[in-house]
Structure 1
Amino acid sequence: MSSDAQPQPTPDARPEGEQPAKGRGRGKGKGQGGEPVDWVTRAADDALRHAEQARADGQARDLVTCASGASPSGPVHLGNLREFLTVHFVADELRRRGQQVRHLHSWDDYDRFRKVPAGVDSSWAEHIGRPLSAVPDPWDCHESWAEHFKAPLREALAEMGVQMEEISQTQMYRSGAYREQILTAIRNRDRIEKILAQYRTKAAAPATGEDADADAVSTAEVDTEPIQAPIQASADLARFPYKPYCRECGRDTTTLLAYDDDTTDLAYACTSCAFEGVTNVATQDEGKLVWKVDWPMRWTFEGVDFEPGGADHATPGSSYTVGKDVVKVFGGRAPSFVAYGFVGFAGMQKMSSSSGGVPTAADALKILEPSILRWLYVRRAPKQTFSIDFGPEVVRLYDEWDALTKKAADPAKRDVAVLAHERAVRTADAPLATSAVKVPFRTLSSVADVTAGSADLISEVIGSVGFPHDSVADLEPRLSKAMQWTAEFVPAEERTTVRETPDTARLASLGADERQWVDLLLAHLPAELTQDEVTTVVYGVPKLARGLSLDDKPTDEVKADQKAFFTLLYNLLVDADRGPRLPTLIVALGAEKVRALLGAAAA
């Protein structure tokens, strides 16, 4: 969503031979020259125009900056992942065009620790109000709370081919990098207040997260009872744009008492520990700007040309709309922007990163190939909401992906859907990992379900059902994903349980037709099982029983017999009325096991 205050765009610079931005995105997903156009193309065009305008305005820009940001307050879930991937795809498109570009990610680890989530010792309430980077890791595996949640996301992004330049807001603020910008905000606090007041008069959606308190004195919340009588803030400091952390206890439960414009001394009192002190804004780095001032300040400081945000950031009075005006205080202008919708999981419409218990990118990558996870995000416009289901939908998702992969192999069928596939399977620098031998996910998961064995055993069966390969490595990473999905996400009642011994009672009660079917199967079942041979026999047994040959087309009577025969085999082999495809099941079990479970019928 672009700013209504943006200057008129200038022609964008592209590598020789590329179409200019004008005309891109017009029509039904086709640009000039018939090239498919998607939301990534349009967002990249906007980012490039923003950078070109900045250069035209005299700003030194040697590259296009696409920015993302996230607060490591908890697991970086699949909803948060949209922030990272939206920026990645736009930066990657610019890189494909030969542009100098960076994906700059800000970790908002200088945000306050707000609450103790379920599963964490209640003693961690002691740290509420302190920066996330200053809160110890309760699991004692990283140096801080913030680092604990950054690490798994970094690994997941690397697996998905996402490269980004990371900066820590703790380090930026503590190093004094923003001193001049902080002083600029303080000197212009009346101007900033007029902007904020203007937006407060407009109808706005209820604020969430940082927005919930950014209009107040700061992003702080008083989560604990003060140990002394409340301190009355100076009236002219009620909406001061800067908030110090207490020098004594490290919390942001501070009330501002006085500010001297000449000396830049800021006096405050802490309602948590009763400390009273003075911080000099020009020489000491003990606090941060409030969110609605901090974000636009960074746009100018980092030279941001594109940055997305949740849909709530683009509502009247929220962060981006307010920031478009606040950024002018710092001599900049808002970056190009797209609002993205939420990503749900199994019916959850919105995820809260601080509550835990929601799936992360690392969780998804246990069962989804990196390309498929990327594809889920790139194939939809950011404003579209969607859900990710780890249940039976996974099998259908892989089927859909494989069908698209087949379509993408035909240059004549290149369209927006194929373009999304291209963006998913490789970055501008390299392709993502993929299986050398592509086996349908449903086949791999069925074999994994039936064998409940090692990857080597599954590999052996897969080779027998029509997918020859040299080693287990040829089936990766899909094989491991299928094994993990079968083990973790297929409910016990839906798992295939192979009988350990024959069902002698059922075998003894077989009707004449049933006994004939089983006898014919045992008589024609080859010693060395292959998918094609077993398929021919399984479907052919009812034909033979009706006096037909294996090559004859089935009659209506044969089709009815096939249905009854298949149910009988499932009953005798896995004690169920249905299961994996019978040829795959029989090959997976092996001839010896099948004969052992059915052999009593011949007695």
Structure 2
Amino acid sequence: MANEVAGEPRPDTLKAAALESKAWPYEEARKLLKRYDKGAPAKGHVLFETGYGPSGLPHIGTFNEVLRTTMVRQAYAAMSDVPTRLIAFSDDMDGLRKVPDNVPNAAMLAEHLGRPLTKIPDPFGCHESFAHHNNAMLRAFLDRYGFDYEFLSATDCYGSGRFDEALKAVLRHYDAIMGVMLPTLRKERQATYSPVLPISPKSGIVLQVPVEVVDAEAGLIRFDDGGETVTQSILGGAAKLQWKVDWAMRWVALGVDYEMAGKDLIDSVTVSSKIARVLGARPPEGFNYEMFLDEKGEKISKSKGNGLSLDQWLTYGPQESLAFYIYREPKKAKSLHMGVIPRAIDDYWQFRGAWAAQELPQRLGNPVHHIHDGAVPAETLPVTFGLLLNLVGVLGEASADQVWGYLANYVPDAAPERYPALDRLVGHALAFHRDFVAPTLVRRKPTAAEAAALRDLDAGLAALPDGDTAEDAQTLVYEIGKAHFGKEALRDWFRALYETLLGTSQGPRMGSFIALYGVENSRRLIAETLAA
């Protein structure tokens, strides 16, 4: 039944299998086992972190990092009894460098360029600041998905003094940090670079100016602020760090053990790791994943708003399908657009259907094991999402109740309460068809040869016996195709069926579609096509 979960292995059996599994979350988790091979760290837990810059609206790339990190955390928990924590960190003290393309009140935001994101008014008018708005969006989505995490704000950590000791360490090792950073910068940038970004007491802007360390233990620096020499503390939120130095300082101050990052940040990870060592700490474990691309092959950007939003995916597909798409091949660049959703849904259900019968090593390599943390629901899906889309495509404007009426042709016990996951997919199919499929459907006229084959198919359907029609109809479709097109050209026959009956270039297994849509309805569809 729907909420039943397949039996789980004993913890010792799972641990032994996980230690040998080649699934990437287990491979990543074993880095942490090696990191603390003598037991728990002094702080008593292993700390995972994900970072987010709230200069734009959260997107799937942000969610991707939290999900993948959570999967590594779950994998580690299967192999170790050491407690874990996950921090979702918002770099919301960063100065706004450019106005995002996908937010309202751009002119107002432009007036606040350079100020910390938590000091800029919310262009949407519903939160304390722009950063508070974006942070709330991120947390709402992470909460909706059910992630176990703790949210931390850079503004809170700097302002409360939580980072003060680490900031003093940055000043104590100022020259060594400059020695790491300067070789990575262009010559003109080297002349003005400082790891410390004081916040102007006059304008409130995060300044990018050279600084002089006055007293490391007191946290004092000296800098020029619009022609005036200012001596000011960097403690208590009066300054922040350049982000590569900030990243390293954060690892040290919080005791971060694991953080992954996109492939575009490989050099940044290397530099920040060197700085963490300068500060006397071991940098975290992690790996670099490939980036998501939009339909044009361009990198998804939160400031551009290209690619899919979180809400868009969840309008047209369930959460599990998004998690499935994110899990697979993390080191391979993947397109992220509306067209990938149907395939992700069906692939998820194919892997889910196979999970229960698999041996434990195969289960641990199955994406659904990591999506559901080993507690994979037992509900099955009697039809594919692709087939649902084809049904809805033929029905046109239909209600969920009408779709369920047709499902009864194919699934004897079809009912929303018995198949709640299928019921949710019906809603997704109706939405996807309405917004993306319907505008593209164009049924063409059959050629003379195709029309002759369709008339034979109609006659064959009329002669089918009552009962289970899917296999009978599929056999009939094959036989007519071979008779009219030859065995070698069956692909032409199927394409003709899809283009003339369904209005698409690709389609479902026709026997299954005929059984789902109903023999009489399928014959009526053929008649309409022949009469067109």
User: Which of the five TM-score ranges fits, normalised by the shorter chain?
Assistant: 0.7 to 0.9
Match of 1:584 in 2: 513
Give the distance between the partners of 2:29 and 2:493, measured in 1 at CA.
58
Work out whether residues 251 and 283 of structure 2, in 8 Å CA contact, stay in contact via their aligned partners in 1.
Answer: yes
2:373 equivalent to 1:427: yes
Please point out which of 86, 91, 98 is paired with 1:115: 98
Secondary structure at 1:68 match in 2: strand
Shift of 1:301: 1.5
- Matched AA of 2:281: G
Q: Deviations for 1:461-514, whole angstroms, at most 9, x for unmatched residues?
A: 1122236323263524322222222223326123679xxxxx9xx9xx999978
Work out whether residues 325 and 344 of structure 2, in 8 Å CA contact, stay in contact via their aligned partners in 1.
Answer: no
Q: Deviations for 1:78-123, whole angstroms, at most 9, x for unmatched residues?
A: 3333322231111111223343111112111111111112254333
Please point out which of 457, 460, 483 is paired with 1:557: 483
Match of 1:332 in 2: 281
Shift of 1:367: 2.8
Shift of 1:71: 0.5
- Superposed counterparts of 1:169-180, under 5 Å: 169-180=154-165
2:70 equivalent to 1:88: yes
Secondary structure at 2:66 match in 1: helix
2:171 equivalent to 1:245: no
Match of 2:245 in 1: 293
Work out whether residues 23 and 365 of structure 2, in 8 Å CA contact, stay in contact via their aligned partners in 1.
Answer: no
- The 1:159–1:418 alpha-carbon spacing in structure 2 relative to 1, beyond 3 Å, is farther
Work out whether residues 449 and 495 of structure 1, in 8 Å CA contact, stay in contact via their aligned partners in 2.
Answer: no
Secondary structure at 1:102 match in 2: strand
Give the distance between the partners of 1:467 and 1:95, measured in 2 at CA.
42
2:304 equivalent to 1:355: yes
Match of 1:441 in 2: 385
- The 1:575–1:83 alpha-carbon spacing in structure 2 relative to 1, beyond 3 Å, is closer
Give the distance between the partners of 1:579 and 1:383, measured in 2 at CA.
31
Work out whether residues 38 and 416 of structure 1, in 8 Å CA contact, stay in contact via their aligned partners in 2.
Answer: no
Shift of 1:574: 6.8
- The 1:571–1:411 alpha-carbon spacing in structure 2 relative to 1, beyond 3 Å, is closer
Match of 2:432 in 1: 485
Match of 2:234 in 1: 281
Give the distance between the partners of 1:477 and 1:511, measured in 2 at CA.
37
Shift of 1:258: 5.5
- The 1:306–1:571 alpha-carbon spacing in structure 2 relative to 1, beyond 3 Å, is closer
- The 1:79–1:349 alpha-carbon spacing in structure 2 relative to 1, beyond 3 Å, is farther
2:87 equivalent to 1:104: yes
2:359 equivalent to 1:415: no
Give the distance between the partners of 1:439 and 1:445, measured in 2 at CA.
11
- The 1:594–1:178 alpha-carbon spacing in structure 2 relative to 1, beyond 3 Å, is same
Shift of 1:578: 8.5
2:262 equivalent to 1:310: yes
Shift of 1:337: 2.1
- The 1:577–1:308 alpha-carbon spacing in structure 2 relative to 1, beyond 3 Å, is closer
Shift of 1:189: 0.9
Shift of 1:251: 1.4
More helix by share: 2
Q: Which runs of 5+ in 1 are unaligned?
A: 1-14, 21-29, 201-206, 218-234, 498-502, 544-552
Shift of 1:173: 0.9
Match of 1:406 in 2: 353
Match of 2:295 in 1: 346
Q: RMSD of the alignment, in Å?
A: 4.4
- Superposed counterparts of 1:451-466, under 5 Å: 451=395, 452-466=397-411
Match of 2:60 in 1: 78
- Matched AA of 1:281: I
Q: Deviations for 1:573-602, whole angstroms, at most 9, x for unmatched residues?
A: 778998764873686489589659949999
Match of 1:385 in 2: 333
Secondary structure at 1:44 match in 2: helix
Q: Deviations for 1:540-566, whole angstroms, at most 9, x for unmatched residues?
A: 5x99xxxxxxxxx76953677998999
Please point out which of 208, 211, 214 is paired with 1:260: 214
Secondary structure at 1:366 match in 2: helix
Shift of 1:518: 8.8
Give the distance between the partners of 2:495 and 2:255, measured in 1 at CA.
66
Larger gyration radius, structure 1 or structure 2: 1
Give the distance between the partners of 1:513 and 1:416, measured in 2 at CA.
49
Work out whether residues 214 and 221 of structure 2, in 8 Å CA contact, stay in contact via their aligned partners in 1.
Answer: yes
Aligned-residue identity in percent: 25
- The 1:187–1:38 alpha-carbon spacing in structure 2 relative to 1, beyond 3 Å, is same
Work out whether residues 156 and 365 of structure 1, in 8 Å CA contact, stay in contact via their aligned partners in 2.
Answer: no
Shift of 1:193: 1.6
Secondary structure at 1:127 match in 2: coil
- The 1:443–1:496 alpha-carbon spacing in structure 2 relative to 1, beyond 3 Å, is farther
Give the distance between the partners of 2:64 and 2:474, measured in 1 at CA.
47
Q: Deviations for 1:257-294, whole angstroms, at most 9, x for unmatched residues?
A: 765328654444544xx887543335x42211222221
Secondary structure at 2:51 match in 1: strand
Give the distance between the partners of 2:39 and 2:202, measured in 1 at CA.
43
Work out whether residues 465 and 587 of structure 1, in 8 Å CA contact, stay in contact via their aligned partners in 2.
Answer: yes
Q: Deviations for 1:155-200, whole angstroms, at most 9, x for unmatched residues?
A: 4434544321110111111112111211221122112222334x43
**Equivalent pairs, count:** 510
- The 1:416–1:468 alpha-carbon spacing in structure 2 relative to 1, beyond 3 Å, is closer
Q: Which runs of 5+ in 2 are unaligned?
A: 1-10
Give the distance between the partners of 1:143 and 1:54, measured in 2 at CA.
43
- The 1:436–1:91 alpha-carbon spacing in structure 2 relative to 1, beyond 3 Å, is same
Work out whether residues 166 and 252 of structure 2, in 8 Å CA contact, stay in contact via their aligned partners in 1.
Answer: no
Give the distance between the partners of 1:441 and 1:557, measured in 2 at CA.
31
- The 1:51–1:495 alpha-carbon spacing in structure 2 relative to 1, beyond 3 Å, is farther
